[in-house]
Amino acid sequence: MPGSRTKTEIIWTIPYWLKQSLGHLDPVKIYQLPLEKLALQVEKLPKKPRYTNAAPYMIQDITCLFVEKYCGTAELIWKNRRSSEVRKDFLSIYGGGPGIADMAVLLIEKGFGVRFSDLDHSRRNFKPDAHTMRILFRLGVAAAEGEQEAVLAGRSLNPSYPGEIDAALWLIGRSYCMAGDPHCNSCPLDEVYAYFGESAQIKRWMPHS
């Protein structure tokens, strides 16, 4: 359930906190740390991921992959490689699942201008979270505020590459379409609601948690 997940801001701040604690974020140095020391570092985090016990294993696997397979060069993760190979690498990381692996491939394409030739972009869905599910439901594109409905809505909005709209929806959900106090008048999608009829306007004002 969305409410049981670790908040996004905590997940994305963990590397910063690790750097503050370790004094660096050098993957080679982290790779050399014993698992027990990694576990202590995770325990010292101001806020912890949901699966605290799994986090040290995940960090160890990530740095091991980076150092041993990619020789410490990030570009080798994707250079002259197929998306299926990259995805397989991310799936090999402890605690990594299909959603995370797909998101990693998507972020590589977005962040580094890579376009994997073997990737059927029309089948690349985004990973729904509370923000994207909420905004798609309020917009009137999703039939309900759930993961499956959000995925179907994403496909209908951008069939050539559903995953491409993930970041934009997430940002709008966090910045404008909040659960309790939506800033509709300043939302970039405010005028778009008119295209989805009266039902979308009703959903827009329904309280959500």
Same domain, 12 and 77: yes
Q: What is the pTM of this model?
A: 0.65
In order of 82, 115, 157, the CA distances from 110 in angstroms are: 16, 9, 19
Given a contact cutoff of 8 angstroms between Cβ atoms, the answer to whether 184 and 172 are in contact is no
Q: Is residue 169 part of a domain?
A: yes
**One-letter amino acid of 109:** E
For residue 187, report the phi and psi dihedrals to the nearest 5 degrees.
-70, 135
CATH number at residue 79: 1.10.340
Q: What is the DSSP string of 82-150?
A: -HHHHHHHHHTSTT--HHHHHHHHHHHHHHH----TT--GGG------HHHHHHHHHHTSSSSSSHHHH
- pLDDT value of residue 99: 77
Q: Nearest Cα to 8, choosing from 61, 37, 62, 50?
A: 50
State how many domains the chain has. Answer: 2
- pLDDT value of residue 144: 92
Domain span at residue 56 reads 2-117
Rounded CA-CA distance 144/134 in Å is: 9
Same domain, 75 and 168: no
Given a contact cutoff of 8 angstroms between Cβ atoms, the answer to whether 94 and 54 are in contact is yes
Tens-level pLDDT at each residue, the chain (209 residues) = 333 455 667 778 889 999 999 999 999 999 999 999 999 999 999 988 878 899 999 999 999 999 999 999 999 999 999 999 999 999 999 988 887 888 888 889 888 988 898 888 888 777 788 889 998 998 888 989 999 999 999 898 889 888 888 888 888 988 998 888 888 888 888 777 655 544 444 444 444 43
- pLDDT value of residue 60: 94
Given a contact cutoff of 8 angstroms between Cβ atoms, the answer to whether 114 and 108 are in contact is yes
Rounded CA-CA distance 91/103 in Å is: 11
Q: Nearest Cα to 1, choosing from 203, 145, 207?
A: 145
- pLDDT value of residue 140: 84
Same domain, 104 and 173: no
